[in-house]
Amino acid sequence: MARRERFWESLEASSRGDGDFVTSYESREKLDKLICSSHFDRGNIFQLNVMNRGSVPNLSPEAVIEVPTTVDGFGFHPVQFGPLPPGIAGICSIAAVVQDLTVEAAMKGDRQLALQALLMDPLSYSLEIGTARKMLDEMLEAQRIWLPSFFD
């Protein structure tokens, strides 16, 4: 059983009076440690999602990448990796374009851009266009409350 499920089960048992009272839950997120590293200029290293800005030169500078990043009183300093092998860079570049199209589609409520993103994604690019449209419509309907611009 996953850690989160165990936590919720123990919390529910506690609320019924069937178990020990749950007083804390340690998150796997490291925000508190990240803030302390910045505030106290500790220079700790965290695995973070950051703008590329040259860490991986053969990816777009605007791409968001996950890399070890030193956090100190002067800011966030991603590790400079150097170029990825061409095949890996190609896969990452496609993923970044799909993500950019998806965000732009969501911001504009543009179904055509959303469909382009869906058809560019390696997990769904082999779909027939009619199937992709149907899938997109179902996904948008399921997220309607969060994506109202698609329905205006």
β-bridge partners, 138: none
Band of residue 7 on the pLDDT scale cut at 50, 70, 90: confident
Two structure tokens written together for 124: 């769904």
How far are the Cα atoms of 28, 29, 41, 53, 74 from residue 70, in angstroms, in the given order? 19, 16, 10, 15, 10
Q: What is the pLDDT of residues 20-43, one digit of tens each?
A: 665 555 666 788 899 999 999 999
> What mean pLDDT, rounded, does the chain reach?
90
